[in-house]
Every structure is written in structure tokens, then in C-alpha cells.
Amino acid sequence: MAIYRTREIHQMSDIELTEQVDKLRLELLQYYGKVSAGGATENPGHIRELRRTIARMMTEKNQRLQ
């Protein structure tokens, strides 16, 4: 899954933003499941990037509500 930057997130619609957050959360859960089962991820830094991207999206979503 692509990592979205702030400029790309600003350009997304509300519906698209919600869909992308759901997809990224699902991907993050899959990574956590793989790690907890004792497996190694191909790129451990990707988990950190996913978490940060989700945080960026949620911040944008909350700012739009205000």
C-alpha cells in the first residue's frame, strides 16, 4: 500500500479518506499478526510509516470536522 503524504491527504475527499484509513488499518493488523506469530516482516520500518500515515489521515479528518 502506498504511503500518503500531507499534500495528497489534503486533496482526498471525505469518503476516500475514510476508505484509505480502513485499508491502512487492515494492512497494519496483518503486519502485527505476522510479527506476533513469530515471523519477520520484509520491511520493519513499514509498520512505523503505516502508523504515521494513519495518524496524518485521522488528523486531517478531525480538522475537517471543526
Q: Could you read off the pLDDT of 7-48 as tens digits, one per residue?
A: 999 999 999 999 999 999 999 999 999 888 887 777 888 999
> What is the reported pLDDT for 38?
85
Cell (9 digits) for 45: 520500518
On whether the CB atoms of residues 29 and 22 are closer than 8 A, the answer is: no
> What is the reported pLDDT for 2?
75
Residue with C-alpha cell 476516500? 16
> What is the reported pLDDT for 17?
96
> What is the reported pLDDT for 1?
63
- Domains along the sequence of the chain with CATH: 6-65 (1.10.287.310)
38 vs 64, more confident: 64
Nearest CA among 20, 41, 19 for reference residue 30: 41
